[in-house]
Chains A and B, each alone.
Chain A
Amino acid sequence: MQLPSSEEIIDDLAFFDDWSQRYQYIIDLGKHVPKLPESEHSPDKLVKGCQSNVWLKSEHRGGKFHFVVDSDAVIVQGLLALVLAAYNEKSADDILAFDIDDYFLQLDLESHITPTRGNGLRAIVGKIRELAQSAAA
Chain B
Amino acid sequence: MSFDVEAIRAQFPVLAQSVHGKPLVYLDNAATTQKPQAVIDAIVDFYTTCNSNVHRGAHQLSDNATRRYEKARDDVAAFIHAPHREEVIWTSGTTESINLVANGLGQLLKAGDEVLVTQMEHHANLVTWQQACKRSGATLKVCPMTEDGELDLDAFDALLTDNTRMVAFPHVSNALGTINPIKLLSTKAKEKGAWVLVDGAQGIAHGDVDVADIGCDFYAFSGHKIFAPTGVGVLWGKRSVLEDWPVWQTGGEMIHDVDYDTATWGALPNRLEAGTPNIAGVIGLGAAVNWLKSQDMAALQAHEKSLLDYATEKANAFEGMRIIGKAKHKIGVMSFLFDNAHPADIGFILDKQGVAIRTGDNCAQPLMKRLNIPGTARASFSIYNTHQEIDQLFAALKKAKMMLA
Residues of A within 8 A of B (CB): 19-20, 23-24, 27, 49-53, 72-76, 118-119
Closest partner residue, chain B, to A52 (CB atom): B344
Q: Is the CB of A119 within 8 A of B20?
A: no
Q: Is the CB of B403 within 8 A of A50?
A: no
Minimum CB–CB distance for A45 against chain B, Å: 17
Q: Is the CB of B349 within 8 A of A23?
A: yes
Q: Is the CB of B403 within 8 A of A23?
A: yes
**Across-interface contacts of A24 in B (CB, < 8 A):** 403
Given A51-B375, A76-B345; 6 other pairs, CB 8 A cutoff: A20-B349, A27-B404, A51-B343, A52-B343, A52-B360, A52-B374
A-B pairs, top 4 by smallest CB distance, nearest first, are A73-B342, A73-B344, A52-B344, A51-B360
A50-B361 in contact given A20-B352, A20-B403 (Cβ < 8 Å): yes
Minimum CB–CB distance for B256 against chain A, Å: 43
The answer to whether B399 has its CB under 8 Å from any CB of chain A is yes
A118 in complex: contacting residue of B342, B360, B374, B404, CB < 8 Å: B360
Minimum CB–CB distance for B32 against chain A, Å: 14
The answer to whether B47 has its CB under 8 Å from any CB of chain A is no
B window 321-379: CB within 8 A of A? 341-345, 347-349, 352, 359-361, 363, 374-375
Alpha-carbon distance A49/B344, docked complex (angstroms): 10
Q: Is the CB of B360 within 8 A of A75?
A: no
Q: Is the CB of A74 within 8 A of B345?
A: yes
**Across-interface contacts of B352 in A (CB, < 8 A):** 19-20, 23
**Across-interface contacts of A27 in B (CB, < 8 A):** 403-404
A51-B403 in contact given A19-B352, A72-B374 (Cβ < 8 Å): no
Alpha-carbon distance A72/B404, docked complex (angstroms): 13
Minimum CB–CB distance for B28 against chain A, Å: 13
